[in-house]
Structures are given as structure tokens and as C-alpha cells.
Amino acid sequence: MQEEKLKTLRDLPSVTELPLYEEAIERKTLKAEAVKWVKHIQTMKLPKSRTGVAFETTKWRREEYNQQIQWIIHFFNLTEADLK
């Protein structure tokens, strides 16, 4: 199964370029892409430490990923239902 390329805001048409009736569709598209990003970040694998030395770095990265997820959820006003 080929993984779908995640889109960024630059990949989507600007809301100012859309007629007013299409704005709702654009919001749904943005929300759908935000959900894809959250799921992608949640599934990212962290490097495993063979010696235990990199544990703090791994722990820090996981916290950073969680902060990114929380920002996306807040910014796009995602609910638990959206993320299922």
C-alpha cells in the first residue's frame, strides 16, 4: 500500500481564491489534512537506543511530537470524534 503524500497549507488553494460557498468545503479539507498529520505524527517511530544513552533524546522527541499534536488539535479545533 502506497502512503498518501501529506499536504501542507501551501498545497491547498487559498481561501481568498475561493467563492464564499466553497469556503465550507475548504474548511473540511483543511480539517481532514490536519487529522492526517496528527495520525502521521502519532505513528512516527523513534530511534531505539542500544546503550540507553539516547533515552533522554528519545523522551524529548516524544514530548516534542506530543506538543506538535496538541498544537494541531487546538489550531484546527479537532475533537476526539474527528481523530477516529
17-46 pLDDT, tens digit each: 656 556 666 778 889 999 999 999 888 876
Q: What is the model's pLDDT at position 69?
A: 92
Task: Tell me how crowded residue 82 is: count the other CB atoms within 10 A of its CB.
Answer: 14
For residue 15, is pLDDT > 60?
no
Query: Mean pLDDT over all residues of the chain?
Result: 76
52-70 pLDDT, tens digit each: 555 666 777 788 889 999 9
pTM passes above 0.85: no
Distances (CA, A) of 66 to 25, 36, 61: 28, 15, 9
